[in-house]
Amino acid sequence: MTTVQVSFPVPPEVLWNSLPAGVAAAGGSAPYYDPQRGTVFFKTGMSLLSWGQNVTVTVSHAPGGSALTVQTTLKLGLIDWGEGKRLGNRFTAAVAHAAGIPALT
Give the separation between CA 90 and CA 13, rounded to whole angstroms: 20
Name the phi and psi angles at 101, rounded to 5. -130, 155
The confidence score (pLDDT) of residue 19 equals 96
Contact 23, 40 (CB under 8 A): yes
Residue 69: band (very low, low, confident or very high) from pLDDT cuts 50, 70, 90: very high
The confidence score (pLDDT) of residue 6 equals 92
Helices (H), the chain: 12-25, 83-99
Residues 6+ apart with CB under 8 A from 6: 67, 68, 92, 96, 103, 104, 105
pTM equals 0.89
Percent of the chain topping pLDDT 90: 70
> How does pLDDT run across 10-19, given as a tens digit for each residue?
999 999 999 9
Contact 43, 55 (CB under 8 A): yes
Q: What does pLDDT average to over the chain?
A: 89
